[in-house]
Amino acid sequence: MKKNLFLGVLFVTLSVFSLTAQVKKREISEQYRRSSLCMVMLEDPNLDASVAGLVKEAFINNPMPPKYNDHGIDKSICTFSYSDVTVTDADKKAYNALTGKKEQSAIANIAKDYAAEILALDPNKDEAPYVAYKYLQDKEFAKKLMARWWGADNPDNATINTNLLHERVAWNATELEKVAAEEATTGRSPIEYLMDNGGDEIVGNTFVPVTRFRYLSAEDLAAEVVAYAKMAASLIPIPTAQQIAMTAAEGAGMAITARGGYFVYSTTYLYRLRWNEEIFNAINKAPEIEKFNALDCFELDYIGSEKAYCSVAAKKYSQEEAVKKATSRALDKVLSKLEREYEVFRTKTPLATIEPNMTANIGTKECIEEGDKYEILMRQIDPKTQKETYKVIGKIKVDTVGNNMGEDNDDENASTNTFTTFKGKVPKNAAPGMLIRQTKK
C-alpha cells in the first residue's frame, strides 16, 4: 500500500523523533501480535428465566481471553435480543449471498426429518444467524470498530491517529524512535513502516464473535447432539459408513445422558472486519474526523460458525457460580473450535522455551489437546513489497497439555505443568519468542 498517511501527524512525529536521526539499524524481536475481538451476545428468549441473568452477567464480566486484544466498543450495544431486530426477506437474501448459503439440495432433503427434530428442540436456530448479522449492520459495527482503530471514536479528537496501532504492534517508544529515524533517512515514513510491519496484520485481524447461549438438561442436549449427528450421517452415501456414524451418534447421546445435570450450550457466528488497500486509501484521504465519519466503505465478512457446550458443575459450586463458570468455559471452547476450523482466526503464540523442551504458555484454558499440530513461524521482510511475512520453518505436535486453569481444569489428561510441551525436530534457527500457529489435525 502507498501510505502518505496523516501528513499532519507525520510532520509532528518526524519532528519529535529527529533527535535520534543517527540510528541506522533496528533490532527486530519476536512479538506476540494478538487478534482483536469485539464480543457480542445474542440473548435467547427461550433461555431459562432462572439462569438468563446469570448467563448475561457471566458474558459481560468474562475477561477477554489472554490470546486476544479487547476491541470492544459501546458495551450497551454488545448484548441484544431477537426483539431488537427486524429481519426482512431482503435481509435474508443479502445474508445468504454474503455467506454463500444455498437452498437445500435434493440430497439434503434426506435429512429433513432430523432438521425438523432439531428445530423442535431449538425453535430460534434458523433465525439466529439472520438476526445476528442484521443487528451488526443496524448498529454499524464495522464503522465503529474501524473508528476505534483510528481514534475516531474519541469526540475530543479532531483528526484520526495511529496511537492504538502503535500499542497493538507492541513497540515501545524507544523502538518507535529508531524506526522513525531510520525510515526518515531512507525516504519512507514511519507510518508506512508501521503498516508494512504489523499494522496491516493487526487491523485485518479484527473479529466479531456473536454468541448465543442456551441452558439445557442432559437429556435435551443429548437429543440435540444425536439429531445433528444423525442428520450429518444421513448424507453419507455409503450404507456401512452411514450406520457406523449413526451408532457413534447414539453412543455420544448416551454418554451425555449418563453424565446428567445441565449444560450451557454456545453457538458463535464469527465475522471479520474487512481490510484492504481500497479501504486504507479512503481513510488516508479523510484524516479529519468529520470526513472519516462520512465514509461508507466499512463492512464485516462472515467467516463461519461453531458450537460447544460445558457442563454446569452444580455439586462443586453454587448454581450461580456453576452457571457463570460454564458460560465462560463454553465461550472458551467455541472460540477454540473456530480457531481449529478457520485459518484466518488462528492466533500466533510465542514459544516460551526451546531447550530442554519446546514449551508455550497455553493449555487447558485454550482447549489444547494432545497431538494438536502447530507450525513454527519466522518473520521476514519481503524484498519486493517490503512487507512483513511469515515463513514456516518447522512443524511440531503437542506432547503434554499444561493445566493453566487451576482447580477449574476440565481435562483429566492435563499435566501438572501450567505450560504445554511440544515434540518434533527443532529447526536450527528456532529461538524462544518465535511464533507458532495451530493447524488442522
Same structural domain for residues 99 and 201? yes
pLDDT, mean over the chain = 83
Residue 172 has pLDDT above 70, yes or no: no
> From the centroid of its chain, how far is CA 44?
22
Same structural domain for residues 385 and 440? yes
The amino acid sitting at 132 is: A
Same structural domain for residues 40 and 81? yes
Quote the pLDDT of residue 418: 92
Same structural domain for residues 185 and 324? yes
Quote the pLDDT of residue 188: 61
Highest mean pLDDT among 102-106, 129-133, 248-252, 312-316: 129-133
CATH number, domain at 398?
A: 2.40.10
Q: Are 425 and 370 in contact (CB under 8 A)?
A: no
Quote the pLDDT of residue 249: 83
Quote the pLDDT of residue 359: 95
Same structural domain for residues 203 and 251? yes
Structural domain ending residue among the three candidates 296, 317, 345 = 345
Same structural domain for residues 316 and 231? yes
Q: Give me the percent of the chain exceeding a pLDDT of 90.
A: 49
Quote the pLDDT of residue 10: 40
Taking the model in full, what pTM does it have?
A: 0.85
The amino acid sitting at 249 is: A
Quote the pLDDT of residue 100: 81
Among 23, 59, 41, which Cα is nearest to 128's? Answer: 41
Mean pLDDT over 58-73 rounds to 90
Mean pLDDT over 144-148 rounds to 96
Highest mean pLDDT among 2-11, 17-26, 202-211: 202-211
Cα–Cα–Cα angle for 149, 27, 166, rounded to 5 degrees:
10
How does DSSP assign 371-394, residue by residue?
Answer: T-EEEEEEEEE-TTT--EEEEEEE
Side-chain-facing half-sphere of 148: CA atoms under 13 Å:
20
**Residue in the structure block whose three cell numbers are 479529519:** 288
Quote the pLDDT of residue 3: 45
Structural domain ending residue among the three candidates 310, 345, 380 = 345
Q: Is residue 207 part of a domain?
A: yes
Residue 4 has pLDDT above 50, yes or no: no
Q: Is residue 104 part of a domain?
A: yes
Question: 180: which 3 cell numbers?
Answer: 522513525
Quote the pLDDT of residue 250: 86
pLDDT band at 108 (very low <50, low <70, confident <90, very high): low
More confident residue, 167 or 347: 347
Same structural domain for residues 306 and 200? yes
Q: Is residue 1 part of a domain?
A: no
Same structural domain for residues 33 and 149? yes
Quote the pLDDT of residue 180: 53
Same structural domain for residues 95 and 200? yes
- Domain range holding 361? 347-441
Q: Is residue 2 part of a domain?
A: no
Same structural domain for residues 357 and 340? no
Residue 17 has pLDDT above 50, yes or no: no
**Residue in the structure block whose three cell numbers are 508494512:** 196
Who contacts 385 (Cβ-Cβ below 8 Å, separation ≥6)?
A: 196
Quote the pLDDT of residue 198: 78
Mean pLDDT over 204-231 rounds to 91
Q: Is residue 416 part of a domain?
A: yes
Q: Is residue 11 part of a domain?
A: yes
How does DSSP assign 393-423, residue by residue?
Answer: EEEEEEEE----SGGG---TT--SSSSEEEE
Quote the pLDDT of residue 292: 95
Same structural domain for residues 333 and 351? no
Highest mean pLDDT among 28-32, 187-191, 332-336: 332-336
Overall number of domains in the chain: 2
Cα–Cα distance measured from residue 132 to residue 139, given in angstroms and rounded to the nearest whole number = 11
- By CB atoms closer than 10 A (0-12, 13-18, 19+), residue 74 is exposed
Structural domain ending residue among the three candidates 345, 379, 394 = 345
Same structural domain for residues 215 and 285? yes
Residue 7 has pLDDT above 60, yes or no: no
